[in-house]
Structure 1
Amino acid sequence: MTDARATALEDLRSNLTGTLVLPGEPEYDTARSPWNLSVDQRPAAVATPADVADVQAILAAATAAGLGVTTQPNGHGATDDLEGVVLIRPSAFDEITVDVEGRTLRVGAGVNWGPALQALDGTGLIGLAGSNPEVNVVGLALNGGHSMFSRRHGLTARSIVAVDLVEASGTVRRVDDTDDAELIWALRGGGGHFGVVTAIELELFPADAIFGGSLVFPSEAAVPVISAAFALAREVPELGLDIGMMKFPDLPVMPPHLRGRVVASIGLVHLGDEATGRAYADRLLAVAEPIANSLTTFTIGQLAAVAAEPTDPMPTADFGASIGSDDDAFAAELVEAFLAGAERGLMRCGLRAMGGATAEELGSELSAVGAIRAPLLLSAGVLLVSPDIDPVAALQPLHDLADRHGVLGGVPSMLGAGTLADVYEPAVVDRLAAVKQRVDPGGLIRSNRAIRPA
């Protein structure tokens, strides 16, 4: 770092109410660490602003020093080393306000879905949350966001009502459809390219009852069970379905019935009564006997417990793709590809069923993430627990599968490495780039995913 930049950052630190951590300081490695511990990002500084005035000071100092600025609440989706960039952690922006009558949720940029869902408990309302409580509300929404409620109510980005934004110039704005229709269009799925978001307002939806959970089947039943789940997704377009396979490590900490096994899993969420939800599940249970069955009624505050996803940062190699096939032949190919990858270290592969509201044109013109034509969104990960694991080899069978069945169009939050051009049509990419040029012509604000390849 040049002396001029070092001086500028020291001056910034002296003017902040919040904190600034620099390379070489004891707190730096912890402060810079993203959710994916395999990403070795090394920003020029890590700032934790206390308020909007601090954000403005960070933007002004970075501009003067020739640095970039990016925001990572938890570091999900981190893909860059962030050289020459000030990394903002917005943890101090922790507001949670539920307007039951207006059916909106307002949260600060530091709020994760776990506390937000707890605040919704008892209101009779739901937000289009991710399944992991440690996922940030703002980060999920800005990057498209898929929820197990999305087949009923659409993608999370399309539920954005308004965004509190500090532009690259330092101007503070509340952006909505009336204030700046083109900018709010870009914020609904275009990621963090357009300023520093300090708060967001999301539409909420009524839900008197929720039923769901997961069914786990032995690998021998994987093909017929997954085929049945695909059929169920096609026939019940409002039903939330997460279809996948997992290989559990052969470790003593694993439950005996799962230790060392390869399994197929079906996550199911029905917004409605238990009897109807169980009737849907019975179509899967008629195919094979499950190893585990966690189906139950629950409240919105219990969503994270029902999904039971890992909540600790870990080193992984991830892959995502939009899949254009959902027939029986594809189910067989998927299982074959996973088993081949599992022999090389692949641990999980999931397919979120799309269709329903995610495929509707209604309202899609209001957001960068539009109607999704692909019936399935694939995501997979390799846990890098040993230097002997080659993530490229482990993921290759799924890359080959996506080469055969992949289609353009998807959700950035489900994407692994890549750019927005990997999921959006060229016209959408061009429009996003035009909005970026208007609000940040100097390219001060960076995002985890570039709009298009450099």
Structure 2
Amino acid sequence: MTDSTHLDRLRSDLGGTLVLEGDPDYDTARLAWNLAVDQRPAAIATPAEVADVQAIVRAARAGGYGVTTQPNGHGADGDLSGVVLIRPSRFDEITVDLESPLLRVGAGVNWGRVLERLDGTGLVALAGSNPEVNVVGLALNGGQSMFSRRYGLTARSIIAVELVDAAGEIRRVTDADDADLIWALRGGGGLFGVVTAIELSLYPGESLFGGSLAFPARNAVDVLAAAFELARDMPELGLDIGMARFPDLPMLPPPLRGQTLATVALVHLGDEDTGRSYADRLIAVAEPVANTLTPFTIGSLAAVAAEPVDPMPSADFGGSIDRLDEAFAREFVDAFLAGADLGLMRCSVRALGGAIADELGAESSAVGAVHAGGFLNSGVVLFDPTLDPGPALQPLRDLVERHPGDRTVPTFLGLGSTLADAYPADVVDRLAAVKQRVDPDGIFRSNRPLTRAAA
């Protein structure tokens, strides 16, 4: 049972804001990034400072409520009944320490602002390619940057986490003071406290080259097979390889409008000539219909990736693939085309290997060392509310079932997934043990719970 009087008192005490069900702005405040998710929390809090977060946690505990954090609503998955939803947008600190080098950011900061701040430093963070994705959210849930094959998964770059714990106390967590908890925070998501700030390692990245190539569907198998071969040969090259079906809409350029295309995005940490030599291996297979490859600086990473940045209703599916080769390229194309005829719009595979599979230091993070070939991610846009995404995504589910990798990370999981879908049983068991120690009453909720729901 919950006691709403604690939320009423909390509203009068906060320096920030608290929106309750029935307030005029409740329906706007509760929105997830995925507009298909209808979450209805007990309250939406926007704390002004750490003391507000402490007050929220203590009031939630006293009133029998859970607590979850969604900076922007990415990855939301559930109705959040009986839960106080925290939006940490006012935690907007960005500090770049060039000597260490490290990045310190508040929990409300998105990658776009960080990339701009890093411009001209000669350094890169293990950033997501979408500027509207939150830094803390990506890092806590694993992350997979286009720089990860050189430097590793984002979670493994976490140096320190500052959070409010289940007792409402402020903690700074590092390897030195709580190795188990920092291990869990490196990939276990938001189950262990309300994070207010995070510190991440930065890495050398003076010269960058990259962009996207798009090819006609008739060349898809050959292009994807060549891209997979390139991934095997160049384990430090960032590659996102897939298929897309573009709607016939006037805002799209003619080469894309109404077309089904094979796509390859690449990011090379190095000089233009070397980067173009990698791309030329793909262009030798088929003539691209679109080519955005260019030298760029870290501040332009989001523009190079050119991912959608607006909220929309969608259904996603992700999983881990054991290997990337020519035979898989044929199966991948067939699965995509079968799904596309039923509404599937995109599917891509992030090539793994390189530093992502590095065992050195892997024991210090829940994400560990990933030995799969790639992470698959796909989506169906649900602008038509009558569209059932299940049949469109089923060919890809079958594909992953035939070629399962050893593990994935939560950032690549779709709706209805849990941490048990990402990690092996021993990792889930250890995460559960840490959860029991730091939050025995289960106050903190996450988009990705630890175990699958009972059938």
Q: Which runs of 4+ in 1 moved over 4 A?
A: none
Give runs of aligned pairs for residues 233-382 of structure 1, distance below 5 A.
233-382=231-380
Q: Distance in 2 between matches of 1:388 and 1:231?
A: 40
Equivalent position of 1:421 in the other structure:
420
Equivalent position of 1:227 in the other structure:
225
Q: Which amino acid aligns with 1:200?
A: I
Deviation at 1:325, TM superposition (A): 2.6
Q: Which amino acid aligns with 2:167?
A: S
* Preserved CA contact (<8 Å) 2:107 2:195: yes
* 1:282-312 Cα deviation digits (max 9, x unpaired): 1001000000100000000000000000000
Equivalent position of 2:99 in the other structure:
101
Give yes or no for the alignment of 1:123 onto 2:86. Answer: no
Deviation at 1:137, TM superposition (A): 0.2
Q: Distance in 2 between matches of 1:388 and 1:261?
A: 23
Q: Distance in 1 between matches of 2:395 and 2:407?
A: 21
Aligned equivalent of 2:396, options 395, 398, 413:
398
| 3-state SS, counterpart of residue 276 of structure 1 | helix
RMSD of Structure 2 on Structure 1 (CA):
0.9
* Preserved CA contact (<8 Å) 2:370 2:407: yes
* 1:349-383 Cα deviation digits (max 9, x unpaired): 01000000001101111100011111011000000
Give runs of aligned pairs for residues 86-165 of structure 1, distance below 5 A.
86-165=84-163
| 3-state SS, counterpart of residue 142 of structure 2 | coil
Q: Distance in 2 between matches of 1:31 and 1:165?
A: 23
Equivalent position of 1:23 in the other structure:
21
Give runs of aligned pairs for residues 62-81 of structure 1, distance below 5 A.
62-81=60-79
TM-score of the pair, normalised by structure 2: 0.98
* 1:251-295 Cα deviation digits (max 9, x unpaired): 222211211100010000000011110111110010000001000
Equivalent position of 2:215 in the other structure:
217
Q: Which amino acid aligns with 2:379?
A: G
Q: Distance in 1 between matches of 2:221 and 2:436?
A: 48
Larger deviation: 398-407 or 19-28? 398-407
Aligned equivalent of 2:174, options 173, 176, 182:
176
TM-score of the pair, normalised by structure 1: 0.98
| 3-state SS, counterpart of residue 358 of structure 1 | helix
Equivalent position of 1:445 in the other structure:
444
Equivalent position of 2:435 in the other structure:
436
Which structure 1 segments of 5+ residues have no match?
none
Deviation at 1:399, TM superposition (A): 1.1
Q: Which amino acid aligns with 2:445?
A: R
Q: Which amino acid aligns with 1:167?
A: D
| 3-state SS, counterpart of residue 4 of structure 2 | helix
| 3-state SS, counterpart of residue 5 of structure 1 | coil
| 3-state SS, counterpart of residue 380 of structure 1 | strand
| 3-state SS, counterpart of residue 3 of structure 2 | helix
Q: Distance in 2 between matches of 1:339 and 1:83?
A: 38
Q: Distance in 2 between matches of 1:71 and 1:219?
A: 41
* Preserved CA contact (<8 Å) 2:373 2:405: no
Larger deviation: 399-408 or 197-206? 399-408
Which structure 2 segments of 5+ residues have no match?
none
Q: How many residues align?
A: 452
Q: Which amino acid aligns with 1:192?
A: G
Deviation at 1:5, TM superposition (A): 2.5
Equivalent position of 1:412 in the other structure:
410
Q: Distance in 2 between matches of 1:298 and 1:88?
A: 36
Deviation at 1:407, TM superposition (A): 2.7
Q: Which amino acid aligns with 2:108?
A: G
Equivalent position of 2:56 in the other structure:
58
Q: Distance in 2 between matches of 1:104 and 1:228?
A: 36
* Preserved CA contact (<8 Å) 2:192 2:438: yes
Q: Distance in 2 between matches of 1:387 and 1:121?
A: 42
Larger deviation: 129-138 or 22-31? 22-31
* 1:385-413 Cα deviation digits (max 9, x unpaired): 11342200111111111121123301111
Q: Distance in 2 between matches of 1:421 and 1:285?
A: 40
| 3-state SS, counterpart of residue 396 of structure 2 | helix
Q: Which amino acid aligns with 1:440?
A: D
| 3-state SS, counterpart of residue 300 of structure 2 | helix
Deviation at 1:415, TM superposition (A): 1.1
Aligned equivalent of 2:198, options 182, 197, 200:
200
Q: Distance in 2 between matches of 1:130 and 1:96?
A: 16
Q: Distance in 2 between matches of 1:293 and 1:256?
A: 14
Q: Distance in 1 between matches of 2:151 and 2:305?
A: 19
* Preserved CA contact (<8 Å) 1:408 1:422: no
Q: Distance in 1 between matches of 2:121 and 2:80?
A: 41
* Preserved CA contact (<8 Å) 2:370 2:406: no
Deviation at 1:124, TM superposition (A): 0.7
Q: Which amino acid aligns with 1:119?
A: R
Q: Distance in 2 between matches of 1:272 and 1:209?
A: 5
* 1:410-443 Cα deviation digits (max 9, x unpaired): 1111111311111111111111101101110110
